[in-house]
């Protein structure tokens, strides 16, 4: 692992990386990664590295001939063993002074930062992110651990003195961990969304069983590697790989799981949300999909709007939960805006994301490519105009991968399914509106409520937008991304409506508390355990 590289902080709002040293460091990391592909990794269960009897291939969407890694097909028994290991480790971890817990997780954060290039290169090969996106994902993971740790520390471990009705009475409120959290993570932020929820749970004193996406298990595994190298005690973090239908299902059904964090699609998340609390209440945080709108008013700086929309619609191929997938533009400026956007989309380099100049790599799998193709077909047959894109690259280097082109569609009715359904591919629909009120009505007429953006120079429009839009994360005039690019401690990130269940966002100041429940402690007299 390289530890000597001088570090420039990469976030999702980093627009370019002219830093030659950074580029060369990433290239070297890709070479190291390529030299180590195809290894079989074990599951992490207590102090055991378990290989299992059957494995699956973690193939690269860049070139499906490339097996990035092999992982065990975990079974329900493996999950039960991981839960038992987590239960066994729980009391000691809970009773570890929180300063010591934080020290271990901060050490892990530093290791992740030190290994940023190697972890990011593997992630690029595993899921097809370009280098800035992959470096951002890794650094976000480290910053999530740091941020949640800092919040925990700022709150002094969430112990608060309360009042007393007599001089003999000592009282306090204490937030205490639940026990064992299951974490189910998606492919698209494969380290940050495995590491952030797991980190929040562990900082609060819980132990964890992680099931990473089968499209991106290696990034989850590397997070576990950093924890182990930071000295996390055995059993505090466990990792079981395999299908959602068995490994994920056992996690949600097993009574040994006290709480759950799921990040992924609405369909899976809602089912899980219902079934997890079927027999008795258990905390569950579900962070789900989005159909994120941007609104462009006539007062907008159209270049800024086109740039912000382009970055959010096509960054990581539209495979961010926050991706901008529909635009409502003031009819008056619609053509000018679309022309600018198309010009910017034309400048996007699509191809192998390990290459320095590639901005858009492949989508994650054949299913995603099929979704893209079907959307383009539907747009054509339903009277839409494909302003740019709508095609799949299938030549030379892209032949064995999944490479859609950035696509902009106009002319569809606003009630068309392409304005409603989350597609999770680089496919943007644009509708014309006559007023901000109409734009807001359309924007809010959605089952989702994750992110949204507006471009306007009119203060009253911005105020109306902020007061009316139904979304957990909103941006105004953001060139770096109309609806994307949240960072720990800078933008809290969580969904409203069908996009999220808890009303408390990740990356923000109310997150870590969700992994704890309140206990009110009253001790009469001077005897007994120390209390404030």
**Residues annotated as part of the active site:** 287, 321
Q: Is residue 266 within 8 Å of residue 447, measured between CB atoms?
A: yes
Q: Which of 5, 64, 265, 349 binds ligand NAD (CB under 6 A)?
A: 265
Q: Which of 315, 351, 361, 495 binds ligand NAD (CB under 6 A)?
A: 495
Identify any residues that bridge with 262 across adjacent strands, giving them in sequence order. 184, 286
CB closer to ligand NAD out of 465 and 493: 493
Binding segment for ligand NAD (CB under 6 A), chosen from 10-18, 66-74, 257-265, 451-459, is 257-265
Q: Which two tokens stand for residue 514?
A: 């969700």
| Residue 452 found at the interface with ligand NAD (CB under 6 A) | no
Q: Which two tokens stand for residue 348?
A: 């996007």
Beta-sheet strands, E only, within 107-184 = 159-161, 169-177, 180-184
Tokens 């990794």 sit at which residue? Answer: 41
| Residue 501 found at the interface with ligand NAD (CB under 6 A) | no
| Residue 483 found at the interface with ligand NAD (CB under 6 A) | no
Q: Is residue 328 within 8 Å of residue 442, measured between CB atoms?
A: yes
| Residue 422 found at the interface with ligand NAD (CB under 6 A) | yes
Q: How far is residue 142's CA from residue 107's CA, in Å, rounded to a whole number? A: 10
Cα–Cα distances in angstroms (integers) from residue 67 to residues 40, 62, 126, 424, in the given order: 10, 11, 9, 24
Cα-Cα-Cα-Cα torsion 306, 312, 317, 322, nearest 10 degrees, comes to -150
> What is the largest distance, in Å, between two alpha-carbon atoms of the chain?
81
CB closer to ligand NAD out of 172 and 497: 497
Q: How far is residue 417's CA from residue 381's CA, in Å, rounded to a whole number? A: 13
CB closer to ligand NAD out of 246 and 299: 246
Number of residues in contact with ligand NAD, rule: CB under 6 A?
Answer: 31
Residue 248: DSSP 8-state? I
Neighbours of 25 (CB within 10 A): 24
| Residue 186 found at the interface with ligand NAD (CB under 6 A) | yes
Binding segment for ligand NAD (CB under 6 A), chosen from 199-207, 386-394, 494-502, 509-517, is 494-502
Binding segment for ligand NAD (CB under 6 A), chosen from 26-34, 196-204, 222-230, 244-252, is 244-252
| Residue 141 found at the interface with ligand NAD (CB under 6 A) | no
| Residue 193 found at the interface with ligand NAD (CB under 6 A) | yes
Please report which residue ranges of 347-480 form alpha helices under DSSP H: 366-381, 436-444, 459-468
Residues 277-296 that bind ligand NAD (CB under 6 A): 287-290
Q: Which of 155, 249, 336, 476 binds ligand NAD (CB under 6 A)?
A: 249
Which residues, in sequence order, are CB contacts of 288 under 8 Å at separation 6+? 263, 264, 265, 266, 269, 270, 321, 448, 495, 498, 499, 500, 501
CB closer to ligand NAD out of 335 and 367: 367
Binding segment for ligand NAD (CB under 6 A), chosen from 154-162, 182-190, 336-344, 369-377, is 182-190
| Residue 137 found at the interface with ligand NAD (CB under 6 A) | no
CB closer to ligand NAD out of 214 and 483: 214
Binding residues vs ligand NAD (CB under 6 A)? 184-189, 193, 211, 213-214, 244-245, 248-249, 252, 263-265, 268, 272, 287-290, 321, 422, 424, 450, 495, 499-500
């Amino acid at each position: 692992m390289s530890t000597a590289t001088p570090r420039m902080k990469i976030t999702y709002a980093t627009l370019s990386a002219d830093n030659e040293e950074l580029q060369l460091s990433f290239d070297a990391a890709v070479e190291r990664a390529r030299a180590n592909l195809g290894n079989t990794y074990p599951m992490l269960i207590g102090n055991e590295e378990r290989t299992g009897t059957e494995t699956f291939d973690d193939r690269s969407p860049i070139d499906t001939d490339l097996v990035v890694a092999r992982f065990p097909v975990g079974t329900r028994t493996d999950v039960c063993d991981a839960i038992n290991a987590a239960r066994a480790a729980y009391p000691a971890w809970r009773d570890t002074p929180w300063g010591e817990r934080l020290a271990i997780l901060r050490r892990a954060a530093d290791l992740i930062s030190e290994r940023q290039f190697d972890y990011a290169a593997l992630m690029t090969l595993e899921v097809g992110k370009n280098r800035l996106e992959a470096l951002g994902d890794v650094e976000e993971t480290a910053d999530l651990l740091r941020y949640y740790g800092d919040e925990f520390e700022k709150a002094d471990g969430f112990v608060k003195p309360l009042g007393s009705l007599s001089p003999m009475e000592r009282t306090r409120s204490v937030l205490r961990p639940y026990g064992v959290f299951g974490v189910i993570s998606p492919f698209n932020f494969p380290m940050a969304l495995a590491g952030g929820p797991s980190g929040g749970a562990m900082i609060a004193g819980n132990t964890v069983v992680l099931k990473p996406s089968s499209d991106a298990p290696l990034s989850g595994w590397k997070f576990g590697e950093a924890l182990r190298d930071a000295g996390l005690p055995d059993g505090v973090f466990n990792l079981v790989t395999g299908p959602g239908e068995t490994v994920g299902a056992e996690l949600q059904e097993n009574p040994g799981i006290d709480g759950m964090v799921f990040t992924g699609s609405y369909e899976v998340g809602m089912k899980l949300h219902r079934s997890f609390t079927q027999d008795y209440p258990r905390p569950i945080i579900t962070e789900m999909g989005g159909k994120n709108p941007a609104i462009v008013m006539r007062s907008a700086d159209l270049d800024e709007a086109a740039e912000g929309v382009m970055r959010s619609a096509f960054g990581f191929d539209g495979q961010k939960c926050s991706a901008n997938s529909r635009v409502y533009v003031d009819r008056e400026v619609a053509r000018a805006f679309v022309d600018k956007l198309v010009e910017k989309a034309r400048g996007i380099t699509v191809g192998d994301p390990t290459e320095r100049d590639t901005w858009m790599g492949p989508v994650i799998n054949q299913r995603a490519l099929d979704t893209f193709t079907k959307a383009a077909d539907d747009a054509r047959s339903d009277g839409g105009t494909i302003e740019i894109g709508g095609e799949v690259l299938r030549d030379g280097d892209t032949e064995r991968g999944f490479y859609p082109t950035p696509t902009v569609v106009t002319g569809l009715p606003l009630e068309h399914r392409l304005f409603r359904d989350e597609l999770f591919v680089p496919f943007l629909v644009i509708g014309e509106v006559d007023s901000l009120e109409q734009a807001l009505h359309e924007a809010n007429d959605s089952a989702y409520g994750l992110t949204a953006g507006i471009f306007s120079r009119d203060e009253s429009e911005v105020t109306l937008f902020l007061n009316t839009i139904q979304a957990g994360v909103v941006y105004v005039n953001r060139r770096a991304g109309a609806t994307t690019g949240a960072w720990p401690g800078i933008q809290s990130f969580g969904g409203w409506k069908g996009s999220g269940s808890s009303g408390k966002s990740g990356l923000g100041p109310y997150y870590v508390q969700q992994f704890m429940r309140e206990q009110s402690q009253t001790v009469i007299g001077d005897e007994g355990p120390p209390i404030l």
